[in-house]
């Protein structure tokens, strides 16, 4: 009987421990949803201290750090979330973007290829991740891989046909690749969808 009581008390302790961790997590998510990112961080930190394998807590804490421009801290937390949950597509996308922001256009080609690898992994896990395509396209364009960037922007247009920004960037790549006719068509589409940046390119480059 005594042994049974000890086992029961252990199970109850584990259950209450889990409940406390989840309560902290939910509290942090509520703050996150109201954009109180700095206030949410201690709640996610508490969740992690109670449950070090809580991938969601690492992800949300990383997102809070990203939104407060602590890119280094965000990268560390996204990496921990990925280690716990290797299929966390959004964590790869956001980690790549944090790496890009942290470099601030001062990295090497290899640095940016590592960022592209994060976006590519996110796309492998979620082929409809338009944000990953957008950021990968931006990074490829920065490396002057205009054909690669064009592929990514075209994919976004296929997935979200009303995405004005994607048509605008797609037109820019086509222009850099010497396909002015396609560029003009896409800039005009971007303008129709509301991207006012396209006006200047149309007036300068298109009939």
Q: pLDDT digits over 40-92, tens only? A: 999 999 999 999 999 999 999 999 999 999 999 999 999 999 999 999 999 99
The token pair at 79 is 């990496």
Give the separation between CA 91 and CA 97, rounded to whole angstroms.
Answer: 10
Give the CATH number, domain containing residue 73: 1.25.40.10
Output the pTM of the full model: 0.87
Q: What is the pLDDT of residues 105-133, one digit of tens each?
A: 999 999 999 999 999 999 999 999 999 99
174 lies in some domain? no
Instruction: Give me 108's structure tokens.
Output: 């090497």
Is 110 among the domain residues?
no
CB 111 within 8 A of CB 103: yes
Say if 30 falls within a structural domain: yes
What range does the domain containing 65 cover?
17-86
In a domain, 77, yes or no: yes
Beta strand spans in the chain (E): none
- Report if residue 43 sits inside a domain: yes
| Helix or strand (DSSP H, E) at 50 | helix 37-50
Domains identified in the chain, total number: 1
């Amino acid at each position: 009987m005594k042994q049974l009581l000890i086992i029961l008390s252990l199970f109850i302790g584990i259950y209450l421990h889990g409940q406390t961790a989840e309560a902290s997590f939910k509290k942090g998510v509520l703050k996150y949803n109201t954009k109180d990112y700095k206030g949410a961080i201690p709640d996610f930190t508490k969740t992690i201290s109670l449950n070090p394998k809580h991938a969601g807590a690492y992800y949300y804490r990383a997102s809070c750090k990203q939104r407060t421009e602590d890119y280094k801290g965000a990268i560390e937390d996204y990496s921990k979330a990925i280690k716990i949950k290797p299929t966390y597509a959004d964590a790869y996308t956001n980690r790549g973007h944090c790496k890009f922001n942290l470099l601030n256009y001062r990295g090497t080609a290899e640095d940016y290829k590592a960022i592209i690898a994060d976006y590519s992994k996110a796309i492998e896990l979620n082929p409809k991740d338009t944000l990953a395509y957008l950021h990968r396209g931006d990074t490829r364009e920065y490396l002057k891989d205009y054909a690669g960037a064009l592929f990514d922007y075209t994919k976004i247009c296929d997935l979200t046909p009303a995405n004005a920004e994607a048509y605008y960037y797609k037109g820019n790549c086509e222009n850099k690749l010497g396909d002015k006719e396609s560029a003009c068509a896409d800039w005009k589409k971007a303008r129709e969808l509301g991207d006012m940046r396209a006006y200047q390119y149309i007036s300068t480059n298109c009939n």
